[in-house]
Amino acid sequence: MTRLVVPTIDIAGWARGAPQQRRAIADAVDEAATAVGFMQISGHGIADAAIAGLTGAMDGFFARPAEEKRAFCPPSSSINRGYSAPRSERLSHSLGVYSPDDLFEAFNVGVQADQFLSLDLPIDTYSANIWPSRPDGFRPAMVAWFRAAQGLAHTMTDIFALALDLPADYFHPFTDHSIDVLRANNYQLPEGDVRLAPGQLGMGPHTDFGIVTVLWADPLPGLQILDEEGGWNDVVPAPGALLINLGDLLARWTGDRWLSTMHRVKAPIDGEGRVFRRRSAAFFHDGNADALITTISGAAYEPITVADHVAAKLAGSRGLQLNDKAHREAARLGAARAV
Q: pLDDT tens, position by position, for the chain (339 residues)? A: 457 889 999 999 999 999 999 999 999 999 999 999 999 999 999 999 999 999 999 999 999 999 999 999 999 999 999 999 999 999 999 999 999 999 999 999 999 999 999 999 999 999 999 999 999 999 999 999 999 999 999 999 999 999 999 999 999 999 999 999 999 999 998 876 678 999 999 999 999 999 999 999 999 999 999 999 999 999 999 999 999 999 999 999 999 999 999 999 999 998 888 889 999 999 999 999 999 999 998 878 999 999 999 999 999 999 999 999 898 889 999 999 776
The pLDDT value given to residue 193: 67
The answer to whether the beta carbons of residues 296 and 258 sit under 8 Å apart is no
pTM of the model: 0.97
2 located within any domain: no
286 located within any domain: yes
Per the structure, the complete domain to which residue 165 belongs is given by: 8-334
> C-alpha distances in angstroms, 68 versus 26, 87, 90, 156, 305?
46, 17, 23, 37, 37
1 located within any domain: no
The pLDDT value given to residue 116: 97
211 located within any domain: yes
Cis peptide before 135 (omega within 30 of 0): yes
| Helices within the chain (DSSP H only) | 19-35, 48-62, 66-70, 138-163, 172-175, 248-253, 306-317, 327-334
The pLDDT value given to residue 194: 76
176 located within any domain: yes
Q: Which residues are within 8 A (CB) of 155 and not within 5 positions of it... i.e. 6 or more apart?
A: 11, 14, 15, 44
> How many domains is the chain partitioned into structurally?
1
Residue 59: HSE in the Cβ half-sphere, 13 Å Cα cutoff: 8
The answer to whether the beta carbons of residues 262 and 332 sit under 8 Å apart is yes
Angle at 68 (CA atoms; ends 196, 206), nearest 5 degrees: 40
CATH label of the domain that carries residue 83: 2.60.120.330
339 located within any domain: no
The pLDDT value given to residue 1: 45
> C-alpha distances in angstroms, 10 versus 31, 192, 225, 240, 261?
14, 41, 22, 11, 21
275 located within any domain: yes
CA distance 253 to 256: 8
Residue 133: HSE in the Cβ half-sphere, 13 Å Cα cutoff: 2
3 located within any domain: no
What letter would DSSP give residue 87?
T
Helix, strand or coil, per DSSP, at residue 93:
helix
